[in-house]
Amino acid sequence: MWSRFAVHDIKLRFKRSIIGPFWLTLSMGVMVGVLGLISSSIFQQNMAGVLPYIAVGLIFWGFLTSCINEGADVFIGSARYIRNIPMQLSIHLYRMIAKNIIILGFNMMIYLLILVIFPQPLNLNYLLVLPGFALYLINVAWAAFVVAVLSARYRDIPHVISNLVQVIFFLTPVFWSAAKLPNRPAFVTWNPVYHMLEIVRSPLLGERPSIVSWSVSAICALAGCACVLLLYRRAYPRISYWV
């Protein structure tokens, strides 16, 4: 059911535009192109090396931010549904995540296009993206759930979150690379978001993510699921009263 709603959301958003959801692809493409141009001229790197890195980074970062930012509005925005129609509340969350996965799919075309233009030697590391993305998805999903529940209760949370996401964007090597730095700053080494991003980004660039990145992501996922369980017990039945 939530997947039907997700498709409906996408359809609706681009209803009267000519190229429809390809706007997503186009705007992401422009963003990647411009950032690629800037960093290749500033850091004197060749486009072929920089573009795939920036594309994958931005695409997956975009997925994370929209899930979390929209997560803040998942329950608040569906107040009319929640108060009038008996249904599983988690459907609202799944609907939002499913919608963003579809958007992610459209954005991944940029990545494929870059691969076609600058062909890379394929290796087995590319397959690691499957477990990597699964783990990434778990992490995004629990974060979205936690944000959604807290936002329904405390109306300051959405504002706090959108600020926080912005800050993390600059602290995390999304469009700049940590590998180029002589010694890695602490806010990268200890940044869980960096490690989460690494486990999807490295495989897509044909590299093997480090064990540290895998373990940090796994620990985050476990801790997050514990949070979700706790919140589910304590807060979930109250959500319909809060919205």
Which residues of this chain interact with another protein, rule CB under 8 A? 1, 4-5, 8, 12, 15, 80-87, 153-157, 160, 237-238, 240-242
Q: How many angstroms separate the Cα of 116 from the Cα of each of 72, 109, 110?
A: 37, 10, 10
Q: How far is the CB of 88 from another protein (least distance, A)?
A: 10
Q: How far is the CB of 237 from another protein (least distance, A)?
A: 4
Q: Are 158 and 68 in contact (CB under 8 A)?
A: no
Q: What burial class does residue 230 get, using C-beta atoms within 10 Å of its C-beta: 0-12 exposed, 13-18 middle, 19+ buried?
A: exposed
Q: How far is the CB of 73 from another protein (least distance, A)?
A: 16
Torsion sign across C-alpha atoms 131, 132, 136, 137:
negative
Q: What burial class does residue 52 get, using C-beta atoms within 10 Å of its C-beta: 0-12 exposed, 13-18 middle, 19+ buried?
A: buried
The structure tokens 């807290």 sit at: 150
Q: How many residues does the chain have?
A: 243
Q: Which is nearer to another protein, 84 or 183 (CB)?
A: 84
Spatial separation of the C-alpha atoms in residues 238 and 31, rounded to whole Å: 41
Q: Which is nearer to another protein, 80 or 180 (CB)?
A: 80
Q: Which is nearer to another protein, 7 or 48 (CB)?
A: 7
Q: Which is nearer to another protein, 15 or 180 (CB)?
A: 15
Q: Which is nearer to another protein, 90 or 177 (CB)?
A: 90
Q: How far is the CB of 37 from another protein (least distance, A)?
A: 37
Q: How far is the CB of 228 from another protein (least distance, A)?
A: 18
